[in-house]
């Protein structure tokens, strides 16, 4: 395998990913990844149907191509299912609508194996897993490989980000559309634009080793958010 996405995040690389579908075939996947070129692919379980067999098949296909798969689960309250989704073969998890430290703690616990977490042992479709592999060896490998994102989608999450971005979180992703809804609802004078929120999160996470991801829907915005200090860009198409 090439250098993991987790290690590239930790060293501050600028990364570019793309939103894809679990129904994508291998020809289309290879074409899409090479066009970016993209450092990872992202699939959605929050606003899209969750077909677990297709997630497993898609993850296996992307693993053959040495491409990292980041999967967004349904909701922060579903953090108890993180280990289950990881057992399908995805390389990372995004937890949406995070508001409380307790939600982050539960996400971290279910994402990592002991001693960093309480993820249950099992699943033949796990990324990098071979029958007969030493349990402790694989757990250590996973804990240094898997990528955990939490998604900030409200003014509360933005202002609380220093507390929410705990040990075990690799990246804070920003949900711009739900964030706009919340800014309109709250009417905050300090946080009145997505860009203002991005700048605040970037400044709060400086020096922590935790990076920031922002979604774009127009490729011309890519450099704009890199310049704001965002290191991970997700092309939402």
Structural domain spans, the chain: 5-149+215-235
Residue 120 has what pLDDT? 98
Residue 88 has what pLDDT? 98
In the 3-class helix/strand/coil scheme, how is the chain assigned residue by residue? CCCCHHHHHHCCCCEEEEECCCCCCHHHHHHHHHHCCCCEEEEECCCCCCCHHHHHHHHHHHHHCCCEEEEECCCHHHHHHHHHHHCCCCCEEEECCCCCHHHHHHHHHHHCCCCCCCCCCCCCCCCCCCCCCCHHHHHHHHHCCCEEEEEECCHHHHHCHHHHCCCCCCEEEECHHHHHHHHHHHCCCCCCCHHHHHHHHHHHHCCCCCEEEEEECCHHHHHHHHHCCCCEEEECC
d(CA 31, CA 37): 10
Options 3.40.640.10, 3.60.130.10, 3.20.20.60, 3.40.47.10; CATH of 5-149+215-235: 3.20.20.60
Residue 76 has what pLDDT? 96
pLDDT along the chain (237 residues), means of 10: 89 96 93 90 93 96 96 97 98 98 99 98 94 93 98 97 98 95 91 96 97 94 96 92
- Residue 195 forms beta bridges with which residues? none
Residue 132 has what pLDDT? 83
Residue 36 has what pLDDT? 83
Let me know: does 94 contact 71? Beta carbons within 8 Å: yes
Residue 188 has what pLDDT? 82
Residue 131 has what pLDDT? 79
Query: Does the CA dihedral 138-56-116-229 come out positive or negative?
Result: positive
Residues 6+ apart with CB under 8 A from 132: none
d(CA 202, CA 51): 35
Residue 189 has what pLDDT? 84
């Amino acid at each position: 395998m090439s250098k993991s996405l987790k290690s590239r995040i930790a060293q501050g690389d600028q990364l570019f990913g793309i939103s894809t579908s679990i129904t994508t075939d291998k020809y289309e996947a290879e074409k899409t990844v090479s066009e970016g070129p993209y450092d990872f692919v992202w699939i959605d379980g929050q606003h899209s149907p969750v077909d677990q067999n297709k997630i497993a098949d898609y993850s296996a296909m992307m693993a053959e191509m040495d491409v990292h798969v980041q999967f967004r689960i349904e909701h922060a309250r579903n953090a108890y299912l993180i280990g289950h989704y990881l057992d399908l073969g995805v390389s990372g998890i995004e937890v949406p609508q995070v508001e409380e430290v307790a939600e982050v703690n539960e996400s971290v616990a279910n994402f990592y194996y002991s001693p960093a977490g309480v993820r249950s042992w099992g699943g033949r479709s796990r990324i990098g897993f071979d029958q007969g592999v030493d349990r402790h060896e694989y757990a250590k490998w996973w804990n240094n490989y898997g990528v955990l994102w939490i998604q900030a989608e409200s003014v509360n999450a933005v202002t609380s980000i220093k507390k929410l971005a705990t040990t075990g979180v690799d990246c804070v992703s920003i949900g711009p559309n739900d964030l706009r809804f919340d800014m309109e609802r709250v009417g905050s004078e300090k946080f009145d634009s997505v860009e203002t929120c991005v700048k605040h999160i970037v400044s709060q996470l400086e020096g922590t080793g935790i990076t920031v991801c922002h979604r774009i829907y127009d490729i011309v915005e890519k450099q704009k958010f890199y310049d704001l200090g965002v290191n991970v860009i997700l092309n939402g198409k």
